[in-house]
Amino acid sequence: MSQLFLRYKPILISALLVSPVAIGGIYGSRQYEEFKREKEEKSNMISKDLESNKIDIFNYVNEFKALTRDQQLSRLNKINKVYENQKLNEQEKQEELIELDLVVIGGGATGTGVALDAQSRGMKVALFEKYDFSSGTSSKSTKLIHGGIRYLESAIMNLDYSELALVKEALRERSNLLNNAPHLSRPLPIVIPAYSYIDIPKFWIGCKLYDLFYPFHDIPQSHLQSKEQTYKEFPFLRPGLLSSVVYFDGQHNDARMNVAIALTAAQQGALTLNYTEVIDFIKDDNSSTTTTTNNKENSKIKGVIVRDRLTGKKYSVPCKAVVNATGPYSDSIRKLDNPNTSPIVSASSGVHIMLPGNLIPSDKGFLNPKTKDGRVLFILPFEGKTLVGTTDDPSPIIENPQPLEKDVEFILESIKEYSNPNVNLDKSQVLACWSGIRPLVKQTGVDKTSQINRSHSIRESSSGLVTIVGGKWTTYRSMAQDTVDVVASNNEIFTPRGCITSTLPLIGGEKYFNSLNQYLVKNFNLPEDIAEHLAHSYGDQAPFVAKLANENGSNKRLVEGYPYIEAEVVYGIKKEYACTAEDIIGRRTRLSFLDHDKAEVALPKIIDIMAPLLKWDKNRKDEEFKKSKDYLKTMTSK
Ligand SMILES: Cc1cc2nc3c(=O)[nH]c(=O)nc-3n(C[C@H](O)[C@H](O)[C@H](O)COP(=O)(O)OP(=O)(O)OC[C@H]3O[C@@H](n4cnc5c(N)ncnc54)[C@H](O)[C@@H]3O)c2cc1C
């Protein structure tokens, strides 16, 4: 008896410790059920009103409206002319003069978040992105909206309060993302397998604490799951499983979320220009004239010089403040401001692979809690396929890094550690793979990049450049809020409002309802998978895409086996600032991430649709094809 007690002592003590949390969990589960019921009732009411023609979908939904890229460039031209004291033409005279408060450099999650926050407070903002929105790290994440169960473990083990604060902040932000863009995000249950008796209470307590630190009830609570159920859902698992713990986090379509933030900023009135690179600063040399940088690192920044990468045209853009939100490239922009500045970024690469969708259920993820190198590995459903990652290794800062063979092999091996011997997994099943660079904040005394804290840091240079670096996708909004607070107070920029982004729906999220996909099937005669995809990718804007598809017969698939349709190419150009075929296969649709080969098959069709709209001749089309193939090469390890 006493031996039995000794054997199960850790479990009993843990159970005793966590019992108040478990009781709280029952209350939390009830609250979640209530939240879910309210949401479903609301969705049913909208569906009924639409069916009975009480409301018309095109009146009910506010269509996205903002300046086109050409109109934005025309504003930029006017700003440039005013700066250079050139004459304005009649149209320019009629346009409102924009004196910019803020220029944001970088159109990833961080930069678009800053632009949206500042513009929605009432500042006048321009954002410049060298390539496409989300073309950097922000499209290459694990796509989790999470507090980070791994970071919670390390906060507790190391008694690190700052790490715990970060987990709590990220958990709060998880709720904002889930609620402000419900079409692009969802709560996702994730299973942690327990192969030893001690793992059961260990994982359960960890997950219960994770629940405890979440102050809202919009996602379910963690729970234990039997081994039978776990094997049923994850038949690839090796024998010997005792039980599993299921916890919940959020998942999103990262690149489309990034584009939605950029579009929301544009709708609020910001200039949001992709393919526009900041190439220099305009500095005040403390005399009455204003010149470009020449060893004047301490002179106040008065604006930026940008180059439209599609035409080569340069513009001088004066402004009151500049934020550097260039992620991994933050140090190169800081050096442009002051060549003597020391680096603050520690870059780490992370590789993911995409496998066919039959490995795991479409609505449940899996966590390998300890890989051979001591990290965690996620196996997650994503857009009908299986996303697996990631690695974490120091890396050079290069554009479009390509995954290494060894990283792909390591990921496959990490899955095999948990698989039964009958499961055949090899490189031939990898549909696509990619590498992203984490812009971590340099930390002394840390051996591995995986141990670097994921908090963000805001640095100000003597010339006034504000750099925001580090953080996570999940915390993009709070990072933006902190940054804009600094900008507003440093530059005494009056804003009529404070920060409103915690409750500001992103484009597509405002009038989205759960049964929108069914509405699209019935009213636009779309196949179920296409309707489902449109509802989730475009939210309340999906009816406009569906209408476009039906009007000009562009409801055909871009490629067999995927729900992407021709109308999305047209919509991407007209409404979502898509400028290249890479934008379409990589970030407006996610085809290149899901299936490298199918993306290549779809390319000629996509380019043919784009050509007349963007006035591409034969040479330009050939060039586009070559550039897109170069991009696709970075989605393989060959
Ligand atoms: C492998 C991996 C997995 C991750 N998984 C998660 C996750 O699951 N959840 C989570 O919360 N976080 C995750 N992260 C972290 C998250 O993805 C990043 O913190 C975030 O995307 C960084 O965004 P950013 O805007 O700072 O950088 P980026 O997205 O890289 O954006 C910077 C942009 O600046 C532009 N730029 C550079 N120079 C110039 C210039 N001169 N002019 C104009 N523009 C310029 C670049 O083109 C680029 O688009 C992950 C990161 C990695 C690498």
Residue 24's pLDDT is 62
Token pair recorded at residue 535: 């509802």
Q: How confident is the model at residue 439 (pLDDT cuts 50, 70, 90)?
A: very high
Residue 287's pLDDT is 41
Q: How confident is the model at residue 295 (pLDDT cuts 50, 70, 90)?
A: low
Average pLDDT, the chain: 92
Mean pLDDT of 391-406: 92
Residue 621's pLDDT is 98
CA 548/CA 543 separation, integer angstroms: 8
pLDDT tens figures, 227-282: 999 999 999 999 999 999 999 999 999 999 999 999 999 999 999 999 999 999 99
CA distances from 450 to 146, 346, 487, 531 (A): 16, 11, 31, 40
Residue predicted with more confidence, 340 or 153: 340
Residue type, 281: F
Pick from 138, 176, 437, 476 the residue to mutate for probing ligand 1's pocket: most ligand atoms within 8 Å of its CB. 138
Whether 343 has a pLDDT exceeding 70, the answer reads yes
* Residue 336 CA, closest ligand 1 atom number: 41
CA 113/CA 119 separation, integer angstroms: 10
Identify the CATH class of 140-249+350-439. alpha beta
CA 407/CA 430 separation, integer angstroms: 12
CA neighbor of 234 nearest in space, from 427, 431, 415? 415
Contact assessment for residue 324 and residue 107, using Cβ atoms and an 8 Å cutoff: no
pLDDT tens figures, 113-135: 999 999 999 999 999 999 999 99
Contact assessment for residue 586 and residue 631, using Cβ atoms and an 8 Å cutoff: yes
Residue 546's pLDDT is 98
> What is the phi/psi pair of residue 78, to 5°?
-70, -45
15 by DSSP, 3-state: which?
helix
Token pair recorded at residue 318: 């004066």
Contact assessment for residue 279 and residue 320, using Cβ atoms and an 8 Å cutoff: no
CA 180/CA 507 separation, integer angstroms: 9
Residues whose beta carbon lies within 6 Å of some atom of ligand 1: 105-111, 128-131, 135-138, 140-144, 146, 277-278, 325-329, 333, 350, 390, 436-439, 471-474
Neighbours of 602 (CB within 10 A): 25
Whether 77 has a pLDDT exceeding 70, the answer reads yes
* Residue 350 CA, closest ligand 1 atom number: 1
Angle between helices 566-575 and 542-551 (to 10 degrees): 120
Q: How confident is the model at residue 10 (pLDDT cuts 50, 70, 90)?
A: very low
Pick from 472, 478, 582 the residue to mutate for probing ligand 1's pocket: most ligand atoms within 8 Å of its CB. 472
Residue 294's pLDDT is 52
Q: How confident is the model at residue 604 (pLDDT cuts 50, 70, 90)?
A: very high
Our CA dihedral for 528, 533, 539, 542, rounded to 10 degrees, sits at: -70
Q: How confident is the model at residue 289 (pLDDT cuts 50, 70, 90)?
A: very low
Q: ipTM of this model?
A: 0.99
Residue 268's pLDDT is 98
380 by DSSP, 3-state: which?
strand
| Domain 69-138+256-344+454-503 = CATH 3.30.70.330 | no
Whether 137 has a pLDDT exceeding 60, the answer reads yes
Closest C-alpha to ligand 1, atom 2: 141
Q: How confident is the model at residue 7 (pLDDT cuts 50, 70, 90)?
A: low
pLDDT tens figures, 12-47: 555 565 566 666 666 667 788 888 888 888 888 999
Strand partners, 571: none
Domain ranges for the chain: 69-138+256-344+454-503, 140-249+350-439
CA 145/CA 254 separation, integer angstroms: 9
Residue 29's pLDDT is 75
Token pair recorded at residue 20: 């108040």
Least confident of 275-289, 525-539, 572-586: 275-289
Whether 415 has a pLDDT exceeding 60, the answer reads yes
Residue 290's pLDDT is 46
